[in-house]
Amino acid sequence: MDSVRLKKIESLLGEEFSELLRVWAKENMSGVLISVPKVNVTPDLSISRVNVSVFPVDKKQEVLKALKENTSLFRGQLGDKVRHQLRKIPQVIFYLDESVEQIEAIEKALRGEGENPIKK
């Protein structure tokens, strides 16, 4: 598949997942912010890997477990939103994006708190 088209599909899915997860978190996970920094789709459009970033960080495993339990719900809602743009709705796999934790560790190191993340 053309890489330009694939990038457009990844962008579309990222926007739609961001909105779906924002609404879902508001209703089901009070006080949790979920963002979607990146979505990767296989060239045959069969699988989408959705990276999610969770704040506060201490709830990341709880949120990831809930997302995985509701994968079919999210795929169905995604299908409702993009059915006119995509013929095939990809399977959804959620992954945690660790960049927020890395940023916090670097900021603590710069302030002189905690371990130096660069020495790890």
Identify the band that residue 102 occupies on the pLDDT scale cut at 50, 70 and 90: confident
pLDDT of residue 26: 92
Domain boundaries, the chain: 3-119
Question: What CATH fold (topology level) applies to the domain 3-119?
Answer: GMP Synthetase; Chain A, domain 3 (3.30.300)
Enter the DSSP assignment of 56.
S
pLDDT of residue 116: 56
pLDDT of residue 1: 57
Q: CA–CA separation, 71 vs 95, rounded Å?
A: 12
Question: What pLDDT digit, counting tens, does each position of 48-81 carry?
Answer: 999 999 888 888 899 999 999 999 999 999 999 9
This prediction's pTM:
0.80
* Angle, CA of 31, 71 and 66, to the nearest 5°: 35
Tokens (6 digits) for 109: 């190191």
